[in-house]
Structure 1
């Protein structure tokens, strides 16, 4: 890495490839600035996300703390890494304290935060309301603006707006497309403002129309299509068409005769127009837009003669050319008419949207950028504001510059120009970091070409130097070799022409790249016929696994194999076994994410999904919405039925039929009638009891308090947890908690009624971008992370699966916004709406092709980002669609593997660099533990505390070791020799299963409960679900259901019952502590039970086995007698193998 880029005395632009340490370099630059005496408040670092800004600030604090706390030897080494000598040691020591107590610290902001601060300082100059609020979610406001636009149009159905809207809807193809093109205009409003800003024509719409007509080379006086039809059907053209028809009939093939008749009939019309043109066009132009071919053959010349054949061939070239020319003119007219209506309606739409924000004193992110741009570029006070900022910003650093959009560049440019014009004796600096290969956010208006433009500008005006960083600190040579082999292929030389060969600092890190077998549609077998006229109440829709689900199942099995093989993961000097946290599944889009999630659930793999905006669609949230709807409208029988069937009450179909059989009243009234004759534990009785209470509270307490009461009364989280498969329990619990929080957080809990709360949630559900996401799962359990490549930007993982690498593509340019903004210009050169593919004129098609070329480049960038997320292992998978067109990432990776391995024959290839390291760290080491390795504890907390004499209640292992057992107790049968590890695993499993099964004995016969319980225990113990684990589940179940043990597991009159009860007390000045497996407190006595899971226990050897435990049980009993001195204590050992109690006391 070139440390010269961090030198404060030079301006620098850094092109940093993935994993090459750009953030380290940027923070190093800030450190160097501080060490050279720069004021912290004069340093401004900009990036694009809050997460990146926070990470930058955190890394700066960590490195300042490191400089302040290391010993002198380490400090000297750290200064050497910064290219500094020991003269800076004292200043380096003091920087951390100075940074912590500085009035104006180093600022690490997002672009939008910088704009927000700027506008807050100059609200009057920017013409915005002082004390404005930031609008982060705009969908609801956009919907209100759209409603206002339509309302204005309906007030005057013959008015200008109504006419424009009607024509725009007709030309765009319906109401859905109308909303689509209006949304597109609003999303590009800053481009529209820039395009029409400071023009000589007062009306922005008129200016845009005029510019479009000039670009289309269209005379606005000739927009009537009839003029061009008449021009086409000139006397000369009609004669040529008639001649063509006659000559065509002389070569009497079936097709020629049909065309000749068609031409003759259509030319007979008195006034040829659009219909005639369409008929003529069909005779010369195919449906794909190309002209029919007419070959010069001997047969043709034999039938027509040379002169007639020459005439026919000449006419066959001449007439289609005229058709194409007329078509292009008509398409230009269509483009112009479509856009003139779009300009007018879009401008009105923006006006309504801006008015709504202004009334509420709101600014959105686009406003922040545009208002800041106008403030620094065009306002009357621009020079003064630039001067004020220039005095405060002496050092500007920008991260991820490839994600900059044109507005942001124009916003930064005045600051750079001011720096370039400032006095040379002032120490000023600029530092830009980016990588065009990682630009993947064009949908956010990112323009990667701006990085080269900025580099050239800084070199020209500030003598900046360019530094490339292509050596990775992240990836194994296996990954880097693949990157080079892929992007040096011919197909990427056009899309990534500036790609340079990559290298890595981790030259000894083992790694592997593997292409998993590609799935083809032929692998799916024959398609089964669909079921028609099925009864959906009796016959479910058949679920046929799709090709993406097959691919997902393959990935799931491959992951389980990696876990089973304890694949080594090396981090620094440690090598440990892989866990689920180490694995990312990267997808290009979310279209098939449900297939991958389903496959992981079926395989028992814990995962974090990538669903967006699905919170309100989750079953548990739908149940909550149905419950609130029932409380608000008790006559809503369907909502009540959903609530009854939900885990809240767990009613069966028979229960619902019982309600339906009642003759009078709605269902809410019927359950009250039925409850009088039902047991208190019956679901209908419970529902009637609680729903009546909650309904009475509906209008008396706030929504949040009502939900809190419901969660408490019905034990909502617990009930859902018990009815949910183990992999989904954390997600369900998090969603329920988030729903409870939403009632308080939304508008600070000021909703006056339950109805308003429900209406708000339903309005969120109908918005595209504001619908809330599912809550992040708060769990320490390792989980595979499924995410899009865009979401993975800036992240890394030891193991990456790049899935769905072959995906179908379609042209999405129809009815999209086309903007041409040259990087050297201050405004866009062109702004228009693209018509449908069949209506695109040649000018639009040329610009659109340039846009498609840019999209191809971004697609290559996306592949680059995906591959470079991997640290050690990269696995590529895909499924081949049966229809095209499609983009194929699998093939270039496979070709690269063929090149790296020299294997051109096999269909399954893998490339491995170095042998995996030997595991030398604990299996359960986590990232959190590793991050604590270098954490220094305060010396005051490290003082040794005087040791207190303690006595631990000795609990024998859940089963004794075989050698000890054979020698001492001899309880094992000849064929049942367990190892210590096996016995311990058996004991832990049976203890845990007893605890889980006892806690929910109402679902013992449920297969879902069994499978979720087994999966939960398997995950906790990091073992597979095996027949042995199922046998242990059976032992637990048999003990709980055994009649002799009813007073232990199902006591009738117990006052209190405790499982895994900790006990701790002092005896003879010694601390005694332990855990009692089961404690039953009755009216007159207390029963202490300790489980013993010896696999060889039977009724004949219980006395012998119990000889090791008298002291343990006595200590338990002594402790319990301290708590209940007036009760008789009974202590038992329960031998789970033979389901027998052995009384010890």
Structure 2
């Protein structure tokens, strides 16, 4: 049999036996060797502790079963045995004997079975080189970045009042945010800045980054303000000249070509300071200029005399595109400028705190390895490990970040150079962790690697596609094949469509199974709550009318608050629920409303907190004119009492600033007519009592106390195996269930995955590097960054759907509102034979 090349890459779709393949390659390598301890030279890298434990368990179980232990519980052990015998050319007796010997070696040297998460492997590497990295040998590892940064921000706040420059920066930042009608709370903005310092993106640009003192920030802001005023003033003067010319000539809007929606609209927009009109003047304004046609059917005699001058003004305005782009870029930079001033201080506090507490963040380790060793010393760092590991197997490669892969490449290169087998397994269609730094294009681009050893990777490369689905019934497989083939073509750009090239799967299951995609009625404007109620009713029917076991059902959600609402509904109908996110108090709409009310009473004139409260109130009580009220409160500068009165609540929120927390909460429960028997509300009231009896009562405000504990507060339910599972789509990855229900109210990606980008503005504004909102790059010379993020976020969205739709074994049910008229990317399913117009439902059965 021909030996495959040493760099094996398996593209494994959902349910196609990825872990089986990974285990098979591991066992094949171990069985080829005459050394029963050769397994010590195999490094298998996974991305979760659960996956690492599952693979270890599989390896031991396969070896146990193949060697003759009939108590093994693995149903696929006979398939594994047959596959290994065929590949290795071993007889039944030989393979049983060899597996028994290897099993004995592993059980007596279990600590040397190197199936590790990538974080554990890199941590082991860092500890191995602690002295070279100038680390104390007993340093502690901090996994919770959020908690760590909360401590850093506390240290920053402690310096306010002592450090004059920092104090001035904070005060001016506050004033700037309030003037721009943003929240007066700085925590989110500062924490976002601190998080960006820990990102891989910052690691790659930090050499070109320079710190700015508060004085430099103030000077920069004055310069940016001056530049925007100059650009805006110049545009307004030109535009006003055109409007004055029209007015003096006695010409009215009806006399101009296309009336108020033509060139006149263009002049009015630019005169008001709307710079986007220069970049997109509108088709009617363009037609006026191209056709040189200015008058309407009224044929006003003055048009002839002013048209030449109007045309020249319009052309002069359209020649200001560079200035308009600069205006938008300055605006984007101005909004984030104060954050730039905090970076130096935050960086110092982060390093000082790590040294004083002798801790390192888990996210530090990849940067340490890359920064210290992966240049000219790359062979040195892997010299010790290169002797230890001959074969590298990497699971879930689509979840690898750029930095993680760059750190692993030298190890794989070392192995390939000796013609040793290496394996990569993954599925770019299941890449849903880009917000954590993963780059699925690294997988789709293989064997291309950004490394001098690229030719070695190319010459060693052999690709396999696993296209059999062992998980799902035939109708589910057929539905996913058809849906994602069309959907990916509709929403992905050509640069990303190769992700779905190897989509089509063959079903192995003999079961037919069913798919139901339910849509709410199209007669009225559907709300998210309508689709959720449809799902709740269907879940109740599946259990009560179709006699399905609750324990067979898993319900998947994109948003935790939707999961919490669904879980509450199940509990009210006495159905058991197993969940993590949906049982957290903070994700319950009623509790979120109570917290938002307490917060808004503290910031009773802050439009940010008032709009947030209105959103939470709308979620629980439903307001007919929600959007109108949201605009009105901002325009008329309402306080919290005004807003409460507007929604029909006769209550003075000032009463919430005094008194015991339990009493205040009870009053709000009564005011909002919340269900006092709701387990979430009861648990929250218990928490209020705990706060008042705790040592924190005299030191910490209730809201700060809540912020500290909210991530861990949940209602406790008795363990019930016959309970509906409720979880996020992200948490469901790698799992499978007999029945899967997916809540998908909107068939659109929503916000971009990453809405912040480090951008060099040295040429444009003299700023080396700064973090900008990616969405703010629209209409600037950096709009290509936004466009790329839009495309990547579309891929993230379709991948999320793929993960959700491929969890089901026998029954898949999806719940949505009809797509908007602007989004017709899924209308194609209505042309399928399985579409039922009467029930507004797609049925595969």
Matched, 1:127 2:134: yes
Could you say if the C-alpha distance between residues 452 and 837 of structure 1 is closer, same or farther in structure 2, counting changes exceeding 3 Å? closer
Counterpart for residue 1124 of structure 1: none
Pairwise CA RMSD of aligned residues?
4.8
Equivalent runs, 1:715-1114 vs 2, <5 Å? 755=695, 765-767=705-707, 771-774=711-714, 777-806=717-746, 811=751, 816-819=755-758, 832-835=770-773, 841-880=779-818, 892=826, 895-896=828-829, 898-901=831-834, 903=835, 905-913=837-845
Could you say if the C-alpha distance between residues 506 and 830 of structure 1 is closer, same or farther in structure 2, counting changes exceeding 3 Å? farther
CA shift for structure 1 position 300: 7.5
- More off after superposition, 782-791 vs 609-618: 609-618
Distance 1:850 1:300 in 2: 46
Contact 2:584 2:713 in 1 (8 A): yes
1 or 2 for the larger relative contact order (CA 8 Å, sep ≥6)? 2
Counterpart for residue 186 of structure 1: 194
Counterpart for residue 374 of structure 2: 377
Counterpart for residue 540 of structure 1: none
Counterpart for residue 559 of structure 1: 539
Counterpart for residue 68 of structure 1: 67
Distance 2:401 2:558 in 1: 23
Could you say if the C-alpha distance between residues 25 and 835 of structure 1 is closer, same or farther in structure 2, counting changes exceeding 3 Å? closer
Counterpart for residue 260 of structure 2: none
Give CA-to-partner distance per residue, 1:1025-1059, whole Å, 9 cap, x none: xxxxxxxxxxxxxxxxxxxxxxxxxxxxxxxxxxx
Equivalent runs, 1:691-702 vs 2, <5 Å? none
Counterpart for residue 355 of structure 1: 352
CA shift for structure 1 position 861: 0.8
Counterpart for residue 281 of structure 2: 291
> Which of 101, 105, 115 pairs up with 1:108?
115
Superposition TM-score, scaled by structure 2 size: 0.73
> Which of 437, 447, 459 pairs up with 1:455?
447
CA shift for structure 1 position 101: 0.4
Contact 1:240 1:315 in 2 (8 A): no
> Which of 518, 521, 529 pairs up with 2:520?
518
Distance 1:642 1:248 in 2: 61
SS in 1 for 2:725: strand
Distance 1:180 1:885 in 2: 35
Could you say if the C-alpha distance between residues 325 and 466 of structure 1 is closer, same or farther in structure 2, counting changes exceeding 3 Å? same
Please identify the structure whose Cα radius of gyration is greater. 1
- More off after superposition, 108-117 vs 128-137: 128-137
Contact 2:581 2:587 in 1 (8 A): no
SS in 1 for 2:132: helix
Contact 2:742 2:813 in 1 (8 A): yes
Distance 1:227 1:819 in 2: 22
Contact 2:528 2:745 in 1 (8 A): no
> Which of 73, 79, 82 pairs up with 1:80?
82
Could you say if the C-alpha distance between residues 763 and 465 of structure 1 is closer, same or farther in structure 2, counting changes exceeding 3 Å? farther
Contact 1:244 1:315 in 2 (8 A): no
Give CA-to-partner distance per residue, 1:442-497, whole Å, 9 cap, x none: 21111111113443238731312111112211111111111121122141453534
Counterpart for residue 496 of structure 1: 497
> How many equivalent residue pairs?
717
Give CA-to-partner distance per residue, 1:77-104, whole Å, 9 cap, x none: 7532222321433212222111100265
Distance 1:562 1:861 in 2: 28
Structure 2 alignment gaps of length 5 or more: 257-266, 593-657, 671-675, 761-766
CA shift for structure 1 position 338: 5.1
SS in 1 for 2:296: helix
Counterpart for residue 147 of structure 1: 154
Contact 1:41 1:107 in 2 (8 A): yes
Distance 1:221 1:777 in 2: 54
Superposition TM-score, scaled by structure 1 size: 0.55
Distance 2:338 2:659 in 1: 48
Matched, 1:591 2:524: no
Contact 2:43 2:393 in 1 (8 A): yes
Give CA-to-partner distance per residue, 1:726-749, whole Å, 9 cap, x none: xx79x999x99x99xx99xxxxxx
SS in 2 for 1:911: strand
SS in 1 for 2:843: strand
Larger helix share, 1 or 2: 2
Could you say if the C-alpha distance between residues 55 and 395 of structure 1 is closer, same or farther in structure 2, counting changes exceeding 3 Å? same
CA shift for structure 1 position 167: 5.3
Counterpart for residue 205 of structure 1: 211
Contact 1:43 1:393 in 2 (8 A): yes
Distance 1:8 1:486 in 2: 34
CA shift for structure 1 position 812: 6.1
Distance 2:245 2:77 in 1: 96
Structure 1 alignment gaps of length 5 or more: 211-219, 258-276, 525-546, 568-577, 623-635, 646-652, 654-722, 744-752, 822-828, 914-1145
SS in 2 for 1:317: helix
SS in 2 for 1:842: coil
CA shift for structure 1 position 126: 1.5
Give CA-to-partner distance per residue, 1:530-578, whole Å, 9 cap, x none: xxxxxxxxxxxxxxxxx544434433333343334556xxxxxxxxxx3
Distance 1:65 1:354 in 2: 49
Counterpart for residue 408 of structure 2: 412
> Which of 422, 427, 435 pairs up with 2:427?
435
Could you say if the C-alpha distance between residues 240 and 107 of structure 1 is closer, same or farther in structure 2, counting changes exceeding 3 Å? closer
Could you say if the C-alpha distance between residues 241 and 912 of structure 1 is closer, same or farther in structure 2, counting changes exceeding 3 Å? closer
Could you say if the C-alpha distance between residues 247 and 454 of structure 1 is closer, same or farther in structure 2, counting changes exceeding 3 Å? same
Counterpart for residue 482 of structure 2: 485
Counterpart for residue 601 of structure 2: none
Contact 1:281 1:323 in 2 (8 A): no
CA shift for structure 1 position 408: 1.0
Distance 1:562 1:788 in 2: 21
Could you say if the C-alpha distance between residues 75 and 366 of structure 1 is closer, same or farther in structure 2, counting changes exceeding 3 Å? closer
CA shift for structure 1 position 402: 0.8
Contact 2:470 2:508 in 1 (8 A): yes
Counterpart for residue 16 of structure 2: 20
Distance 1:642 1:223 in 2: 49
> Which of 381, 386, 391 pairs up with 2:387?
391
